[in-house]
Amino acid sequence: MSASPPLPAHGPFSLRARLVTPLDGGGHRWEPDARVEVDARGRIATVAAWSDGDDGAAIDVRPWVVMPGLVDLHAHLPQIPNVGRGAGLDLLTWLDRYIFPLERGFDRSTAERLAPAAFRAMAAAGTTTVVLYGAVFEDSLDAAFAAAEEHGIRAVLGKVMMDRLRYDPSLADADVLAASLRQSADLIARWHGRDGGRLRYAVTPRFAVSCTADMLRESVALATATGAYWQTHLAEDADEIAEVTRLFPDAADYTDVYDRAGGLGPRSILAHAVHLSDREVARLAESGSHVAHCPTSNLFLASGAMPLARYLDAGLSIGLGSDVAAGPDLSLLAVMRAGAYTQNGRRAMLGDREPPLGPLDWLRLGTLAGARVLGLGDVIGSVEAGKEADLVCVDPSTTEPLTGLAEVAVDPTDEAADLVSRLIFRAQRDTVRAAWVRGRLLPAGQAGTAPTDA
């Protein structure tokens, strides 16, 4: 592992580093020796190949690599304490045994303790933008938003809405819908768009099993009226889908349940979408809806192997989600790894014919594609001049098999793809060495350890 150079806490600064990034116009950029300048407002001012006359004031972090910050489109903040527990269960059993009891206890003081550590752990994993579900309690969302505001991460949060199969006994069934809408609206008024749009709100009906048609429809109306995002779960697991069919007998399929509520469109993020008919894929694509692909979770709960290539060919907009805690790892590099293994498994066992995604395709899904899902493709997601400086530095030496062996390795045929391939398949806890949002260094550390000072 290379020694840590001093890292700038905020712009303006200039880095000398290796660089790999997807590009807005398609393809990627690889610079073995680059200059990346961030201005005082936290924007990327310059991205250029290093030239010998360049300013010596640049901080030389080579052999580290600058990349865009990772965008996690789907995770559950209150569930983090249970990551990795409950292996072998199906979704609905796991929710009942491991998740609803945990979320029931997610009050303000629990959120105040957990959220700051969670955001530091996300930054340590290279996540600079995260879309999170909270629990049903309004004040725990205030605490989570306050922690995100303080930490510096870019965050979209939402209070979970449930008016059946719910875990909060404090309200009568008849009062839940109105209270949940009012609380969501109040949170939107306080937090949506805060800090120049760094913090945003997603109206969050949990899924069709936990929400009546009234709640789905009213939640869409609230999101539409306020410009907030709308997020829920879709077609994750066979038993869940059977339950939705039972609860909504008039709907053509699971996607149609949300369509009838007005829930499809460019502000909608649907997690999982493992089991979709061609009709559903076409309708999602046509409506401009987005899918958060969560392969670690889909493998952990044996939900299924999403046909990613088929969906991409159909023009569906897709980014990546860790889905903690059903996904056991906050790291989007781990999510990319599980996604790649899943696609290989489909090719090997189901005979999928589409060409496999390469490492740089996975990097794009975890960065620029995620930014586009959020309507932020012109703001973040790639290291290009004019964008806000949401960046990470990774240390590729942490991914080497044996220290010192690199010198005898064969020359790579594609240096960028090989580097990112190693990052995806061999990322370690210390692979990400720094993360910035708008040029501000994020405090980072594994939960329970002291944050670095920023």
DSSP character for 182?
Answer: H
Q: Is 166 in the site for ligand GUN (CB under 6 A)?
A: no
Q: Out of ligand GUN, Zn ion, none, which partner does residue 206 contact, by CB within 5 to 8 A per kind? A: ligand GUN
Q: How many CB atoms lie within 10 A of CB 261?
A: 23
Q: Is 43 in the site for ligand GUN (CB under 6 A)?
A: no
Return left, alpha or beta for 308; rule: phi > 0 is left, psi -120 to 50 is alpha, else beta. alpha
Among 73, 75, 326, 340, binds ligand GUN (CB under 6 A): 326
- Beta-carbon contacts of residue 154 (< 8 Å; ≥ 6 apart): 128, 129, 130, 198, 199, 380, 390, 437
Q: Closer CB to Zn ion, residue 215 or residue 271?
A: 271
Q: Closer CB to ligand GUN, residue 151 or residue 293?
A: 293
Calculate the alpha carbon distances from 142 to 135, 159, 170, 199, 359 in Å: 11, 10, 19, 12, 38
The Cα–Cα gap between 368 and 379 comes to 10
Nearest in space to 297 (alpha carbons), one of 86, 81, 68: 86
The Cα–Cα gap between 327 and 443 comes to 23
Q: Closer CB to ligand GUN, residue 39 or residue 90?
A: 90
Q: Is 37 in the site for ligand GUN (CB under 6 A)?
A: no
Q: Is 323 in the site for ligand GUN (CB under 6 A)?
A: yes
Q: Is 99 in the site for ligand GUN (CB under 6 A)?
A: yes
Q: Is 206 in the site for ligand GUN (CB under 6 A)?
A: yes
Cβ burial of 379 (10 Å; 0-12, 13-18, 19+) is: middle
Among 72, 237, 259, 323, binds Zn ion (CB under 5 A): 323
Residues 118-157 that bind ligand GUN (CB under 6 A): none
Q: Is 395 in the site for Zn ion (CB under 5 A)?
A: no
Q: Is 240 in the site for Zn ion (CB under 5 A)?
A: no
The Cα–Cα gap between 144 and 314 comes to 37
User: Quick one: tokens of 324?
Assistant: 């903690």
Q: Closer CB to Zn ion, residue 142 or residue 323?
A: 323
Q: How many chain residues bind ligand GUN (CB under 6 A)?
A: 11
Q: How far is the CB of 206 from ligand GUN (least distance, A)?
A: 5
Q: Closer CB to ligand GUN, residue 201 or residue 207?
A: 207
The Cα–Cα gap between 389 and 384 comes to 9
Q: Closer CB to Zn ion, residue 121 or residue 389?
A: 121
Strand-pairing partners, residue 76, are 133
Q: Out of ligand GUN, Zn ion, none, which partner does residue 215 contact, by CB within 5 to 8 A per kind? A: none
Residues that bind ligand GUN (CB under 6 A): 76, 91, 95, 99, 206-207, 233, 236, 297, 323, 326
